[in-house]
Structure 1
Amino acid sequence: MRNQHPQPGGRFLDEADERERRRVIFLGDRIKEELFGDADAVGETVLLGRVPFTVIGVLAHKVQMGAYSGMDENHVIVPLSTFRALYGSRYVSNFVVRARVPELTPHLERHLREVLGAHHRFDPEDRRALDAWDTVEGHRLLGLMLLAIEVFLGLIGALTLLVGGVGVANIMYAMVRQRTREIGVQMALGARGSWVLGSLVLEALALTATGGALGVGVGVVVVQLLGWAQRSFPHEVFDYLGSPVFSPGVAAVVVLLLGSVGFAAGYFPSRRAAAIQPAVALRCE
């Protein structure tokens, strides 16, 4: 079966249950809550079509992305031999198989189509005769979709950094233009070009660091608020979305990138200011 892990104190169906046609039942966790609430259900008796079954286990809560015939938490499972003996059904509407390793799934599906096609006399290549859902392929496609989203978000982040760098560069150009006479006075009094360059670059880095610190702070606050919302207003959608986590590693990389952008944005206007002749700077209005 598909990851039917029981809660502590219970078990799943085994070969003896199938062989001896035992009237035992495995409950989905939501079904158990609806029938028994917080009480222990293992060993209790439930009626399935007026037939008593003994509960042998309850499904451990899990996040299920795929639903073959509904969510497992809403299912009950009994031995197939018992079901056929009680209700006389000889046919199944669907079944689940799993290869030993995911890489063998295409070979397993092809072999199943060949065997069932020969038994029921249909072409194994006819997809309409036997519908199959390959979860491994679905997982691969989901991974590609998530990768595309990550690349898209990365491009947005890169464009944001670029726009931020252009903004810092414009601010530095405007600041250098306004302080041209001041720079000229400093250089006329003996200030070296490297000193002027260093001070202006430090101002650019300080400006960038302030913006980066504010951004990281806002990110931390947003993560904390989302975590508080999940704890205060629990909903099953949060099981699929997961919990937001602040990553110090990502924050460190962002700070380094911001520092590089700030340095590059401030260096060129500062170098231009440091290279200006004092006499020319003093004549600027």
Structure 2
Amino acid sequence: MRHTLPIAPQFYVTAPQACPYLDKRRERKLFTALQGEHANTLNNTLSKQGFRRSQNVLYRPSCADCSACLSARIRVADFKPNRSQRKCLKRNHMLEREATSPWATEEQYELFRRYLDPRHSDGGMADMDIFEFAAMIEETPVKSRVVEYWDRSGDSPALIATSLTDVLDDGLSMVYSFYDPDWSRNSLGSYIILDHVRIAQEAGLPYVYLGYWVPGSPKMGYKAGFGALEIFRGGVWQNLSDTEDYDADTHPLSVDPIAEQVARINLPDTRAPKE
């Protein structure tokens, strides 16, 4: 008879640094390592509680006086594209999807650099070299896929967009996406999300996790444009109602102490049943 212990990861908090979403804010993250034989189980469980994956780390915003970042996911069964999104799908009909194992390529890195330079030249990834890029793609202890979008309508195939995506037990988690800035008129960021909804529908998965929606942030505001959207707030998933009901105000009591946050995290129990 063999028993295993419940998963009991250690949680840490990063030092405060400039917020990438809201001016004059400071961010910090609550995080834990993602490793070992139960990595998939831990990723599944914490993703349902607002955590996100970055390589072998799971993290969630835990800022001292701000709780603006809200994890968002699309409820696939109830999603219906609006008029603008239907046009987006039609506009990108020529793109061909290829889903592969998480393996970095030179084409991906060249596209990544073209995406970053005009849009995020002062961001945390601005200085990422090809080896760091490969680590972002390949260092995954969970079930992940690289979803590529190719334009083969011309004389030579061209990689137009890429998404690093985790496959959870209840959906797809879009870890990071990037695309050709010359195709900006095609709304590729929205198209990738719409296509992931289609992938989830085909696979019978109920959710597509989009990362964080941040009220007041121009970078993240587009996510509120997707129907059947849920946000993780107050420890539960709830329908996103009128966006005007959410704000990015700060308050010194808006975030609970770290110890209380950790105490409320539900962790998976991997103990084998008694025989």
| TM-score, normalised by the number of residues in structure 2 | 0.22
Q: Pick the structure with more strand per residue.
A: 2
| TM-score, normalised by the number of residues in structure 1 | 0.21
Rg (Cα) greater in structure: 1
